[in-house]
Amino acid sequence: MDVLIMITSAILGVFLGAQVAEAFLIVPYWKSLSKEQFYSFYERYGASIHQFFAPLIIASSLLPVLLLALSYIKSDDRLFWIVGLVACVVIFFGTYFVYFKAANEAFSKGAFDSEKLKLELIRWGRWHWFRIVFEVLAFLILLSL
Q: Which domain holds residue 36?
A: 2-144
Residue 33 DSSP symbol: S
d(CA 105, CA 48): 14
pLDDT tier at 24, thresholds 50, 70, 90: very high
pLDDT tier at 7, thresholds 50, 70, 90: very high
Q: What is the pLDDT of residue 28?
A: 97
d(CA 122, CA 126): 6
What's the pLDDT tens digit per position in 91-143?
999 999 999 999 999 999 999 999 999 999 999 999 999 999 999 999 999 99
Residue type for position 103:
A
Q: What is the pLDDT of residue 98?
A: 98
Average pLDDT for 65-90: 97
Q: Which residues contact 143 (CB under 8 A, 6 or more apart)?
A: 9
Q: What is the pLDDT of residue 9?
A: 97
- Number of independent structural domains in the chain: 1
Q: Which residues contact 139 (CB under 8 A, 6 or more apart)?
A: 9, 12, 13, 16
Q: What is the pLDDT of residue 91?
A: 97
Query: How many Å from the N-terminal Cα to the C-terminal Cα in the chain?
Result: 10
